[in-house]
Structure 1
Amino acid sequence: MNIIVAVKQVPDLIEELEINAAGTDLDRDTLSFVLNEFDDQALEQALLLKEAAGGAVTVTVIGVDTTGEIDQALYTAIAKGANRAVKIVGDFEGEGLSSHALARLLADAIQGMDYDLILVGVQAADDLDGQVGPMLASHLGIPHVGVVTGVQLNNGTATVQKEYWGGILAEPDVMLPALLGIQAAQQPPRYAPVSRVRQAMKEAIIDAIEVDEMPVVPLAPVRRMFKPQVAGRAEFIKGNTETIAGRIMAILRERGLLT
């Protein structure tokens, strides 16, 4: 069983995000990136399937690695149990790649690999559109099932747990090879000890696939990007009971709710 997991680096949402001077995109010079959380779920599901059925897991990623964050994500995947890491490199500078371009680049790279199953995160935290998985499956001519929360491999097929709106669950069978968009793995993503990551950095080799020609699929134009306006605020009142009660009374009087 050969499983490919396509992952993506997204801006770290824990940090303060700044908008560029033109007001059309994030200031990418100040961003730090982390592995998309849904892709981490897809990786965990792939490792669980490998442990249950044997085989190999290959992790692929697209991007320019100016800070080492992409390599770090790939080494971490190997430390968790992936067998191979592949980085698709090319002229990806600028405001990023559209979902159409990402799917085309992944398809071109994956067509030269041996696979039975492809797993992707159901969506990425930076756009939430969930388009790459279905388009990648279309390019490869294989079935696609999205919003998957469980996978059981059979002889030439996979039974998946698929989630619909309203909490409705289904268990369709899909012929392999297939592509699954993972909503959640069957257990939380495992932790990779620092010692294993360092060992992977010393011993593992990241294969590179060079992109000679970029797909001509531009991003949708952004007229304006802005931070949400603060509409209100919360005040935490500290002190003893009398102090808190007095402050509440004062606030109510200020707003004309108490005379």
Structure 2
Amino acid sequence: MFSSTLLAVASATLVSAHTIITYPGWRGNNLITNESFPYGMQWMYPCGGSPTTNNRTYWPTTGGALAFQPGWFSGHATAFIYVNLGLGNEGPEDNPELRGPPNMSHPLLPPFQILGPTKNPYPGTVCLPQVPMPQGIEVKPGDNATIQLIETAVHGAALYSCVDITFAEPGDPRIPHVNETNCFNSTDIGVADIYTLTLRESGQGNAKVANAASRSDLGSLAHSVYASVLFGGLLALL
């Protein structure tokens, strides 16, 4: 895993590119564009083109902190954030590209939105100090898993980053210490809940929009799905 010191040194150049998990660790540097990945690695499901690592980070069995630099590139003032958990470490021992959770189907948090001050790359870091385990999921110390962070832009494209973890009892000294240097919220990045507006209930048939004005109204409604909240408000839900 990359240390917080290395990330701090590299952040001046990396933050303008794509998404970096700064705590509890990072699967590895997938901020790469080459012949094999002409559009970059991070667009690739499930973990931005990076294979599972054996250099895992310890994380509490009851859930713990997660911090990331949203980065991205110019032209996107908002993005949706998804945080999922994949359990296990299946696949052949001699092929890390095929090892890892069979899916990432366990949401750790409800999706939320981040808000930048401009359409320039997001200036700073987001910290979620206590991400809970999904309801109904029980793990024990020594179990392996992967945390998946997804950032989607306004046009729908997604960036993927992961950190491979091994669960440990809360307070285990192997769990990286959380402090203001590796988990903090930058004042220039806001957050918002994501709300759904029901425009037509299920089972009502193929209701038609009467005219162009109505279509315009529906379009406005469909895009008015965000409500700004403070970071403290979001974190209070965790």
TM-score by length of 1: 0.26
Q: Which has the higher strand share?
A: 2
Q: Which has the higher helix share?
A: 1
